[in-house]
């Protein structure tokens, strides 16, 4: 059986999606431990996106294969019963044997939430970044347009590998403000390590008047990480949607 999972989680107390030895500190590790216990064989799951430490997911997608035959409802019930309450399995599906959560993903959308008021929001402090100075939305929108398209995003990433391509295609960036929140939605074919948070950090600095929007193409071209703005906090970032 090749099983597809749709997962929702609060990443606040985890070291990210990817298992890094100590499985209990990652989302992947937590789910694998429960699945291994359920079927009595070692299970490894493949996630469509390796979210960073502290980042959340509204619709993470993963798949795994197992020999044991089980009802989907039984798998679904078991996972939600034994996983911690900050990880929830929304859907369990039996998919084609060739389905691969990472390689079959066509595009991903991340959403970033900024609380843009002088005072803090005690109920959303774990799920948004607080910026107490007013942000210029129009300048941020103008800067965002420079990121759209196919570019080398070396300057806007902390990826260490020099062998892998740093080119990614950003399809759209939408910025909206409502009831004190600024929400930035970024859709692309894929994202480098810390890429969305560094893009958002630079957009915040544009909104604060620390960076001119016209500087963005030059920073992209120079591929110089020291020229980019701050990196936005992890707690405001959510993996919102994956399209296959």
Closest CA to 66 of 106, 102, 34, 104: 34
- Residue 232 has what DSSP assignment? P
Q: What is d(CA 156, CA 234) in angstroms, rounded to the nearest whole number?
A: 15
Tokens of 26: 């990652």
Tokens of 178: 């409502």
**Contact indicator for 107, 189 with CB cutoff of 8 Å:** yes
Q: How crowded is residue 47: how many other Cβ atoms within 10 Å of its Cβ?
A: 25
Q: What is d(CA 213, CA 92) in angstroms, rounded to the nearest whole number?
A: 44
Q: For this structure, is 52 an active site residue?
A: yes
Give the active site residue among 10, 24, 52, 152.
52
Q: What is d(CA 54, CA 12) in angstroms, rounded to the nearest whole number?
A: 4
- Which residues are tagged catalytic? 52
């Amino acid at each position: 059986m090749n099983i597809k999972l749709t997962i929702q989680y609060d990443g606040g107390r985890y070291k990210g999606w990817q298992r890094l030895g100590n499985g209990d500190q990652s989302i992947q590790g937590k789910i694998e431990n429960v699945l291994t216990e359920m079927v009595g064989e070692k299970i490894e799951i493949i996630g469509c996106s390796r979210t960073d430490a502290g980042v959340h997911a509204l619709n993470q997608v993963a798949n795994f294969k197992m020999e044991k035959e089980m009802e989907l409802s039984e798998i679904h019930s078991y996972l939600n019963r034994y996983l911690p309450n900050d990880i929830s399995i929304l859907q369990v599906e039996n998919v084609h044997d060739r389905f691969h959560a990472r390689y079959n993903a066509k595009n991903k959308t991340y959403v970033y939430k900024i609380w843009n008021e002088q005072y803090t929001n005690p109920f959303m402090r774990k799920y948004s970044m607080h910026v107490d100075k007013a942000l210029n939305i129009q300048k941020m929108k103008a800067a965002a347009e420079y990121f759209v398209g196919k570019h080398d995003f070396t300057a806007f990433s902390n990826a260490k590998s020099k062998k892998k391509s740093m080119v990614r295609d950003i399809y759209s960036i939408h910025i909206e403000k409502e009831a004190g929140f600024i929400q930035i939605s970024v859709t692309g074919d894929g994202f480098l390590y810390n890429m969305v948070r560094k893009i958002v950090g630079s957009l915040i600095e544009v909104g604060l008047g620390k960076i001119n929007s016209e500087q963005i193409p030059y920073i992209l071209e120079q591929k110089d990480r020291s020229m980019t703005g701050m990196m936005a906090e992890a707690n405001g970032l959510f993996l919102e949607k994956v399209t296959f």
